[in-house]
Amino acid sequence: TQSTWGQIPGSMFGLLNACGARRCFGSMAAQLAEGIMARNRTALSRAITLIESTRDEHKAEAKDLLSRVVSCSSTKDSSGRATSIRIGIAGPPGAGKSTLIEALGLHVVRNGHKVAVLAIDPSSVRSGGSILGDKTRMTELSNHEDAYVRPSPSRGTLGGIALHTNEVVLLCEGAGYDVLLIETVGVGQSEITVTDVVDCVVLVLPPAAGDELQGVKKGIMEVADVVVVNKADGPLEPLAKQARSEIRSALQFLRPKYTQWSPLVLLCSAKENRNIGAVWDVVKRFKAAREADSSLFEHRGVQNKVRMWSYLQDEIMRRIRDSLNGSRKDELLCSKLNRVEHDLMHGTTTPRVAAMEVADTMLP
């Protein structure tokens, strides 16, 4: 497998253009799946690029690739326990998420695990571009042979994650990574979509995260399984201890997500590598508690259904756009859209009524 990948040019899309035919790329999907199962990181990177591609000609190949990887890998062992743990790392900017992820990742790989970090970077609303700089803040972890760090653009997807994050998770698991760390964009209370992808949500907060009222707001605080007050060192340590007490008090007013687990609040200093082991131990306890009644794997099934509906919405919108242009243009739909858009511009209808009229045209 290694020699096969050595013969592939550096640009996967360049190879596609050079071949000039989809049949050439069809064999590429099979080779990518083979490389992933052989634990080839180059194959994994190229596979993720394919999955995240927005080009229409890549969608069928991405579907084929995912089917091959899922059919050849297992997400649970013979006793029904999950073979991996998917951990979402959320929190506001400046909380030290990247520093904590590197410290936690290094601790985990030193304990015999393989770690994949998926860092979601916000995309510009104007250009659509992303800096993708999280990897540069995890230099030691990025260079570890048992770790894989992959930044991905959010591309306008709300909720803290990217559109294809769950599919990238499946590819990483297929490549043998049993600990997945998903770092969200970092916008705070609204980052709840991560719960549709991960098993455990770790909320990282700085010492001055706010009072009890801030803690009881709906959103990410409500779905957190573990709360970590980071930067508990030096002059900030007393503030961190105060924040821990306030958060513990606030959590008492929130309804627990699970009957077998109540959120825990920990202090740590990622910068000084203090209490990182305790964070990992709590995550392992959470996994064990959720596996005791098989609810962890059942929860993944529910997540799959939620994501299916999300992809269905995206696919419907894509097909609607296709029907407005090119050889598959739907004249009736175009006429209806032109009319309702005219009415909207002149204030003679509302967006909701206009949407219902368009929907009636599509699905009478």
Model confidence pLDDT, tens digit, residues 8-62: 334 344 433 433 334 444 478 899 999 999 999 999 999 999 988 878 778 888 8
Mean pLDDT of 126-140: 57
Q: CA 161 from chain center: how many Å? A: 5
Give me the pLDDT at residue 236, please. Answer: 92
The pLDDT mean for the chain works out to: 80
Q: Are 268 and 229 in contact (CB under 8 A)?
A: yes
The separation between the first and the last C-alpha atoms of the chain, rounded to the nearest angstrom, is 52
d(CA 243, CA 239): 6
Instruction: Calculate the CA dihedral of residues 314, 319, 320, 321 and round it to 10 degrees.
Output: 90
**pLDDT-derived band at 209, boundaries 50, 70, 90:** low
Q: Are 115 and 106 in contact (CB under 8 A)?
A: no
Nearest to 50 by CA among 69, 76, 75: 69
pLDDT of residue 296: 86
Residue 5 has pLDDT above 50, yes or no: no
Tell me the residue ranges of DSSP E strands in the chain: 85-90, 115-121, 147-153, 179-183, 200-205, 226-229, 264-267
- Any residues with CB less than 8 A from the CB of 355 and at least 6 apart, and which? none
Spatial separation of the C-alpha atoms in residues 279 and 17, rounded to whole Å: 47
Statement: residue 111 has pLDDT above 60: yes
Residues facing residue 200 across a β-bridge? 87
CA neighbor of 297 nearest in space, from 167, 226, 199, 225: 199
Angle at 121 between CA 189 and CA 123, to 5 degrees: 95
Q: What angle do CA 147, 152, 158 make, to 5 degrees?
A: 130
Listed residue (285, 255, 271, 242) closest to 96, CA to CA: 271
| Chain centroid, CA 311 distance in Å | 14
Q: Are 73 and 178 in contact (CB under 8 A)?
A: no
Confidence at residue 117, expressed as pLDDT on a 0 to 100 scale:
94
Answer whether 287's CB lies under 8 Å from 85's CB.
Answer: yes
- Minimum mean pLDDT among 4-8, 44-48, 120-124, 336-340: which range? 4-8
Q: What is the pLDDT of residue 75?
A: 65
The pLDDT score that the predictor gives to residue 124 is: 40
Identify the pLDDT of residue 101: 95
75: tokens are: 């997400």
Mean pLDDT for 76-105 is 85
Q: Which of 42-46, 166-170, 273-277, 320-324 has the lowest mean pLDDT?
A: 320-324
Q: Which residue has the tokens 């999950």?
A: 82
